[in-house]
A and B are shown apart, each in its own frame.
Chain A
Amino acid sequence: MSLKFALVGNPNCGKTTLFNEITGSTQYVGNWPGVTIEKREGKAKKIQADIKIIDLPGIYSLSPYSMEEIIARDYIVNEKPDVVINIVDATNIERNLYLTTQLLELGVNVVVALNMMDAADSRGDKIDLGIIEAHLQVPVLPIIASKGRGVKELLERALHVVQTATTGASAEVDPVFNEMHDASIVICIQKIEKNIIPQLNRMTGNSRWTALKLLEGDENVQKTLKVPNAMLSEIKVYQEKLKKKFDMDIETIIADSRYQFTTSVTRKAVKKKEQSSHLTVSDRIDKVVTNRILAIPLFLAMMFGIFSITFGTIGTFTIDFVDHLVNGTTAPFLSTWLAGAGAVQWLQDLIGGGLIGGVGSMLVFVPQIMILFFFLSILEDTGYMARAAFVMDRLLRKLGLSGKSFIPMLIGFGCSVPALMSTRTLENEKDRRLTIMLIPFMSCGARLPIYALYTAAFFSNNQTLVVFSLYLLGIVIAVLSGFILKKTILQGEVAPFVMELPPYRIPTLKGLMIHMWDKGKGFVKKAGTIIFSVAVVIWFLQYFNFSFQAVVDPGDSMLGAIGKTIVPVFAPLGFGDWKSAVALITGFVAKEAVVSTMGILHGVADATQGSTDLITALQTSFTPLTAYAFMAFSLLYMPCMAAFATIKREMNSWKWTLITVGYSTGVAWLVAFLIFRVGKLMGFS
């Protein structure tokens, strides 16, 4: 039987770094609370192959407050890992130990890993591990996960704990428990454990923990155990007694008691260097980044800077480079080779028109997407995300959201799917719903090829500005939508905002590269799978008519017929040709498929006229105004299939999923309509 070790710790304490170190995998690590959203499994290959390592989401407490805490707690209580490795940030021991106290209450095997010992050292903190060990009565080991130091010893110790552990928690309240809580609380727990727990016919965790949770008034535990009302009123007697003694509500009493324990342990074990008056690096960066006047302009300038690099010289260079590789080198080579090998005409057309035209036109933009991801990774890894939330909270509150919603939205600039999943850090269900509805308006990386193509064709003089305006358009629409939705179908209280601000960290190049690749590889993979399939299907549909005969004019093909029936929907928006209509439909599969479909449709059509250049082809069927309307529509309309599935999963409701999709598509149509009509009135063409 294989052993299961669970990694548990506060957000941002280095769990995922440790996980990568142990399992040798390259999970992505960020510097903002809530990076690990679902639990992940790996094997401790370096130590012993049959140990399963489970990386749980970072949590502050085992009290069920947000979805992640529920996931983590349920895992520990129900799946019973053999050892819980509790990672404690050595620079922040006092608060990190709060979770440790709760793990100890659970009565599971705990091994504490004191991480980031190097950071604590460089701050001049002296930590006496022996004292912590003596108080917690579990092994405490120093590690530096980022450098792999102490990891082997940690796992060996954990293994040792499993081998020597006595199974089954004793009914006696153990000494740690006694030290941790005030005597009057311990007495109440003992009484509940003795008098009430035996009457229950279900169990969750051990009896001591259950007694504590019932005393605390934990509703989840009450529900799982189906505690009858009579028993609840019996428990209430104990609660009242403690309330009278401490003059606080019961939850506060228990939390207070835990913190008193962690404070006293920390005081004894940690000798902090006298706080010097000079500012830390973090403080100095913060002074600028969250400066009263500079903060918001700085944020905008940073975003603008990122876009100008992505779309400016460097971005254009990569496009030209890959374009040359695909269309200049590979395409002629393939077609000569195919013709020479005597391949049938339709196969030559499929490779040339379908694959090069379809997949190739999308692949051209992959380096650009990577550049964007590289910069987003810097924002995430340094700890800037949390500051952005801090700066923006006030604005977001006007929409009834909290600054915390800002993080998922920024991630949405990369890809909607992880952004949607990261909404799980939001506590309030309505907030989560609203944030989910707004995320698709954040322009994701897959829309980028569309902008890059159309701006190159129509706005070559001010590409960056036009693209930036589209990102802003998405944000403005999200803001207005938030305002409207909060006033109508998602009314509710203002969400609270209590969040940790992690210290700034200098990201490692390795970390950034892993992070960038982790996000970007999806696009490369998609190009080979989904985009490839769409390209083949589209090529096939535009090559043949309904009697499966090759057509001369794609307008007579199956696809042409389908496109022409839906054209009237888009005609009022200014792009009423069937090719655009079809391209937008394929955009549901993946947004970048819009570009590959355009590549196939225009490439083939123009091949007969002696030109294969997609850009010149577009210039004949679009004007700058309709191109802008088309880009706006592409930005706002229904999210892609993957995002759709994620919305369904996160909303857990078909109704809300359809509302989200219907709403975004409706908004897209309206906005594109307005751009086209108003633009026309103003004399643009």
Chain B
Amino acid sequence: MERTLKDLKPGEKSIITKVLGDKGAVKRRLMDMGVTRGAEVMVRKVAPLGDPIEINLRGYELTLRKSEAENIIVA
């Protein structure tokens, strides 16, 4: 079973190995924001209502939903 960004707990670090999904607006935005293969990510926290999550990558903070995090495979 592959691990996704969604499975990481706050404080956990990993490296992105693949971003799933066909091309499309969401995927392109993720690319533009630097969510690409090889990037180191750390989950910072989960929003008060359980979704979205906040991650740190490439030296800045990004927020995305769990449904999007599910498509991001990490090592």
Contact = CB atoms under 8 A, between A and B. Distances in A.
A393 B52 CA distance: 7
A494 B61 CA distance: 23
Interface string A81-98: 000000000011111001
A260 B38 contact: yes
A395 B52 CA distance: 11
Given A393-B52, A501-B54, A256 B32 contact: no
A290 B45 contact: yes
Given A249-B23, A259-B39, A496 B29 contact: yes
Contacts of A65: 25, 28-29, 32
B19 interface: yes
B24 to A, nearest CB: 9
A102 B58 CA distance: 18
Contacts of B37: 248, 256
B50 A394 contact: yes
A177 interface: no
Contacts of A498: 26, 29-30, 33, 62-64, 68
Interface in B50-75: 50-52, 54, 58-65, 67-68
A190 interface: no
B49 A501 contact: no
A403 interface: yes
A291 interface: yes
B34 A259 contact: yes
Interface string A274-306: 000000000000100011110110000000000
Q: Kindly state the interface size class of chain B when it binds its partner.
A: 35 or more
B2 interface: no
Q: Kindly state the interface size class of chain A when it binds its partner.
A: 35 or more
B74 to A, nearest CB: 16
Contact of B58 (A94, A256, A389): A94
A165 interface: no
A255 B31 contact: yes
Contact of B34 (A95, A290, A497, A499): A95
A22 interface: no
B36 to A, nearest CB: 5
A502 B37 CA distance: 23
B32 to A, nearest CB: 4
Given A292-B48, A501-B54, A255 B36 contact: yes
B60 A496 contact: no
A391 interface: yes
A60 B23 contact: no
A515 to B, nearest CB: 24
Contact of A390 (B27, B30, B54, B58): B54
Nearest to B26: A496
Contact of A252 (B25, B27, B61): B27
Given A263-B38, A427-B29, A498-B33, A291 B48 contact: yes
A91 B29 contact: no
B60 A63 contact: no
A292 B48 CA distance: 4
Nearest to B51: A394
Contact of A251 (B31, B34, B45, B62): B31
B58 A251 contact: no
Contacts of A500: 33, 60-63
Given A251-B27, A252-B19, A497 B64 contact: yes
A95 B29 contact: no
A63 B51 CA distance: 28
A611 B68 CA distance: 65
Contacts of B61: 500-503
A501 B62 contact: yes
Nearest to B18: A248
Interface in A157-182: none
Contact of B32 (A60, A91, A248, A391): A60
Candidate in B19, B52, B54 with the most chain A CB atoms within 10 angstroms: B52
Contacts of B47: 290, 295, 390-391, 393-394
Interface in A242-268: 248-252, 255-256, 259-260, 263
Given A63-B28, A497-B52, A497-B64, 17 more contacts: A63-B32, A65-B29, A93-B59, A95-B33, A248-B18, A252-B36, A263-B58, A290-B48, A391-B48, A391-B49, A394-B50, A397-B51, A494-B67, A496-B29, A500-B60, A500-B61, A502-B61
- Which 3 A-B residue pairs are closest in the complex by CB-CB distance? A394-B49, A255-B31, A61-B32
